[in-house]
């Protein structure tokens, strides 16, 4: 049976910006952006004849000394590779082993073995434990097998850490139209959230293709947060602020979380599993959630300070 992750394991993944590895100008701007994580994309956004150049761009980017404060800003760095069967994936994975980002993002995951194959390869290469695996869930089989994939990710030796939903490929393969509200996609999105919740992983909501439509982004971020996603995959810096706002704790929720933590810290609550908080009965399981929320707010404050130092 899974347990909620302790506060110390909480990662900020409100805004996960995808940047084409072929775009040098975009790579240069990353340090100044207030996103929590960056996906360096070697897959969909890079033409076949540009794959080698994109890999060299990343070699240069990771080799350059970071701007002052960049490492302290704590951006998670993920490299999305091509599938191992594509003819490009093997070279991409060798690059990942050389650069040692925080994670490697695997596209079009259909079944547990897709994850375990890469996990075994990383182990054989003696990659550090800190190099995690993220999985793109973007095919009908991936949705159907989401729970099995997540369960396999909890086995010994697996590095699986996070799911990222890819609705573009899923729409293409199912024929579901891109409609406002994502009505016919909601059951599949919730299936992913249920799977990661059962096995202690994170889930990132899919991109919104029209990066100029802030009203639609606002609605999707609100919807994704309500569903239980921890953040949203983005394709343009202009989307970062909205994602950070929606997937971060609001003032009311944070105030309640602090009140719950304080209530259980009171001597009168020692040994109790339930306390009276302003006429409402609060269980100790709510304390775990509250502690995670408070810790998340502290991480956001720390990142905000570090980010200001980076751009100053």
The DSSP bridge pattern shows strands 76-80 and 274-277 to be unpaired
Torsion angle of alpha carbons 175, 115, 197, 237, nearest 10°?
-70
Rounded to 5 degrees, φ, ψ at 234 are -125, 160
198 lies in a domain? Answer: yes
Q: What is the pLDDT of residue 117?
A: 94
Q: What is the pLDDT of residue 69?
A: 40
- Residue ending a domain, among 247, 264, 298, is 247
Report CA-CA distances (Å) from 179 to 123, 140, 220, 289, 297.
42, 19, 12, 33, 33
Is residue 138 annotated as involved in ligand binding? yes
Is residue 114 annotated as involved in ligand binding? no
Domain count, the chain: 2
Asked if residues 146 and 195 have their Cβ atoms less than 8 Å apart, the reply is yes
Is residue 171 annotated as involved in ligand binding? no
266 lies in a domain? Answer: yes
- Residue ending a domain, among 196, 220, 247, is 247
Query: Are 179 and 256 in the same domain?
Result: no
2 lies in a domain? Answer: no
Query: Are 287 and 156 in the same domain?
Result: no
Query: Are 119 and 97 in the same domain?
Result: yes
Query: Are 33 and 71 in the same domain?
Result: yes
Query: Are 44 and 99 in the same domain?
Result: yes
Asked if residues 164 and 136 have their Cβ atoms less than 8 Å apart, the reply is yes
239 lies in a domain? Answer: yes
**Structural domain span for residue 191:** 7-247
Query: Are 206 and 117 in the same domain?
Result: yes
Q: What is the pLDDT of residue 72?
A: 40
Distance CA 19, CA 33 (A): 12
48 lies in a domain? Answer: yes
Q: At 25, which CATH number?
A: 3.20.20.60
One-character DSSP codes across 182-209: GTTTHHHHHHHHHHHHHHT-EEEEPP-S
Q: What is the pLDDT of residue 288?
A: 84
Distance CA 257, CA 266 (A): 15
Q: What is the pLDDT of residue 2?
A: 43
One-character DSSP codes across the chain: ---PPPGGG----SEEEEEETT-HHHHHHGGG---SEEEEE-STTS-GGGHHHHHHHHHHHHHSPPPTTHHHHT-EEEEEPPPTTTTSHHHHHHHHHHH--SEEEESS--SHHHHHHHHHHHHHTT--TT-EEEEEE-SHHHHHTHHHHHHHTTSTT--EEEEEE-HHHHHHHH-----GGGTTTHHHHHHHHHHHHHHT-EEEEPP-S-TT-HHHHHHHHHHHHHHT-SEEEESSGGGHHHHHHHHSPPHHHHHHHHHHHHHHHSGGGTT-SEEEETTEEEEHHHHHHHHHHHHHHHHHHHHHHHHHHHH-
Residue 223: both structure tokens together: 């919807």
Query: Are 25 and 156 in the same domain?
Result: yes
Query: Are 240 and 263 in the same domain?
Result: no
Distance CA 307, CA 312 (A): 9
Query: Are 144 and 234 in the same domain?
Result: yes
Query: Are 13 and 113 in the same domain?
Result: yes
Specify the residue for token string 């761009």. 57
Q: What is the pLDDT of residue 17?
A: 98
Q: How far apart are the first and last CA of the chain?
A: 46
Structure pTM?
0.89
Q: What is the pLDDT of residue 122?
A: 96
Query: Are 305 and 202 in the same domain?
Result: no
1 lies in a domain? Answer: no
Q: What is the pLDDT of residue 296?
A: 87
Report CA-CA distances (Å) from 166 to 70, 103, 140, 142, 203.
29, 17, 11, 10, 11
- Residue ending a domain, among 193, 217, 247, is 247
Q: What is the pLDDT of residue 267?
A: 82
Specify the residue for token string 């909890």. 154
Query: Are 279 and 172 in the same domain?
Result: no
Q: Which residues of the chain have pLDDT under 70?
A: 1-9, 65-73, 156, 310-312
Q: What is the pLDDT of residue 263?
A: 87
């Amino acid at each position: 049976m899974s347990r909620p992750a302790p506060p110390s394991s909480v990662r900020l993944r409100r805004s996960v910006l995808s940047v084409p590895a072929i775009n040098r100008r975009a790579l240069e701007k990353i340090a100044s952006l207030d996103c929590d994580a960056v996906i360096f994309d070697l897959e969909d956004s890079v033409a076949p004849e540009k794959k080698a150049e994109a890999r060299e761009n990343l070699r240069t980017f990771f080799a350059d000394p970071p701007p002052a404060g960049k490492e302290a800003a704590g951006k998670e760095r993920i490299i999305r590779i091509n599938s191992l069967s594509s003819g490009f994936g093997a070279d991409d994975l060798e690059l990942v082993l050389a650069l040692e980002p925080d994670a490697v993002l695997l596209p079009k995951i259909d079944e547990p073995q897709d994850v375990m194959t890469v996990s075994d390869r990383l182990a054989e290469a003696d990659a550090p434990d800190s190099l995690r695996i993220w999985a793109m869930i973007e095919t009908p089989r991936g949705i159907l097998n989401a729970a099995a994939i997540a369960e396999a990710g909890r086995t010994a030796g697996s590095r699986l850490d996070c799911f990222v939903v890819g609705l573009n490929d899923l729409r293409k393969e199912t024929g579901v139209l891109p409609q406002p509200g994502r009505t016919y996609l909601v059951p599949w999105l919730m299936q992913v959230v249920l799977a990661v919740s059962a096995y202690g992983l994170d889930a990132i909501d899919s991109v919104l293709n029209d990066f100029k439509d802030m009203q639609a982004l606002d609605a999707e971020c609100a919807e994704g947060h309500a569903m239980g996603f921890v953040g949203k995959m983005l394709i343009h810096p202009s989307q970062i602020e909205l994602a950070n706002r929606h997937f971060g704790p609001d003032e009311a929720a944070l105030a309640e979380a602090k009140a719950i933590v304080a209530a259980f810290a009171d001597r009168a609550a020692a040994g109790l599993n339930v306390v009276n908080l302003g006429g409402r009965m609060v269980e100790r399981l709510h304390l775990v959630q509250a502690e995670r929320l408070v810790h998340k707010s502290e991480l956001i404050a720390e990142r905000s300070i570090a980010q200001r130092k980076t751009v100053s």
